[in-house]
């Protein structure tokens, strides 16, 4: 399966960020999936309530039209209303597909408190494309191996992760380690697309470090980008998933669930 990893640096204007989505899809070079980061709709560091829209609202509908026009599935981060908070949602949309994954694990760590303004989701989400099951996760989720094993239990051969990783000492190393570890935990590909590094915005919000990474089911790095905006298209060989699960049957060998 061909996947485009579209590392962008979102602005605070959802309409201008739609142009980033359009450009990513135009540059996808035959990809079946175009993965963009968490907070593609609007970067962190500003109030999110005013920009949040439902999945059938104008922003998500515009992304759907872009995806349908190019016959691809676009996976991109947005915010949807949830009472007096929002949900941090990964939109999954294409010609015959339109759904969202609401981030389960909220980033209440390293001095940031996402749960103050964001409500957690509760449901694992997978979708099928060309006979392949793909799972969806968001940023801080990557620190929780049980989520990735749960997606594998639901049939996922690859997990698509959108992120806006917080900068700081050791954070790049943790990011790469976690992407590789989760691939080993679930013997699936992990395709993790982060926000590019925007420079110092004078905010404590997690606004991205770049270094989008793809790890194969054996934990090898198949792709890693720089810290700058970049689109890369990769063919992943899903036969490697079967091979990994045959020789490294950690899912089958589990004793604790």
Catalytic residue flag (residue 154): no
- In 3-state terms, what secondary structure has residue 44? coil
- Among the listed residues 103, 114, 186, 193, the single catalytic one is 103
Among residues 147, 153, 177, which one has the least CA distance to residue 165?
Answer: 177
Catalytic residue flag (residue 242): no
Assess contact for 11 and 43: CB atoms under 8 A: yes
Give how far Cα 13 sits from Cα of 214, 221, 229, Å: 28, 33, 17
- Among the listed residues 38, 42, 114, 193, the single catalytic one is 38
Alpha carbon dihedral 146, 222, 76, 74, in 10-degree steps, equals -120
Q: Which two three-digit tokens encode residue 222?
A: 């198949």
Catalytic residue flag (residue 38): yes
- Among the listed residues 42, 139, 186, 193, the single catalytic one is 139
Which residues touch 53 (CB under 8 Å, ≥6 apart)?
A: 59, 60, 78, 79, 80, 81
How far from chain centre, in Å, is Cα 211?
A: 13
Strand 2-7 with 33-35, pairing: parallel
Catalytic residues: 38, 103, 139
């Amino acid at each position: 399966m061909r996947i485009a990893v579209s590392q962008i640096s979102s602005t605070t204007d959802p309409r201008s960020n739609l142009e980033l989505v359009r450009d990513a899809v135009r540059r996808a070079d035959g990809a079946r999936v175009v993965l963009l980061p968490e907070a593609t709709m609007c970067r962190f560091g500003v109030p999110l309530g005013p920009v949040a829209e439902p999945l059938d609202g104008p922003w998500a509908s515009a992304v759907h039209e872009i995806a349908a026009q190019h016959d691809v599935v676009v996976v991109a981060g947005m915010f949807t209303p949830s009472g007096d908070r929002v949900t941090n949602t990964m939109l999954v949309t294409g010609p015959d597909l339109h759904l969202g994954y609401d981030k389960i694990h909220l980033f209440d760590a390293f001095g940031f408190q996402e749960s103050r303004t964001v409500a957690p989701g509760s449901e694992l989400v997978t979708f099928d494309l060309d006979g392949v099951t793909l799972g969806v996760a968001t940023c801080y989720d990557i620190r929780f191996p049980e989520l990735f094993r749960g997606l594998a239990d639901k049939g996922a051969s690859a997990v698509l992760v959108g992120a806006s990783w917080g900068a700081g000492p050791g954070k790049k190393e943790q990011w790469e380690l976690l992407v590789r570890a989760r691939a080993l935990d679930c013997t699936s590909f992990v395709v993790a697309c982060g926000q590019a590094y925007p420079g110092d915005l004078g905010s404590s919000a997690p606004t991205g470090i770049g270094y989008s990474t793809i790890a194969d089911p054996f934990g090898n790095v198949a792709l890693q980008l720089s810290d700058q905006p970049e689109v890369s298209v990769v063919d992943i060989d899903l036969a490697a998933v079967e091979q990994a699960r045959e020789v490294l049957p950690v899912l089958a060998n589990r004793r604790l669930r």
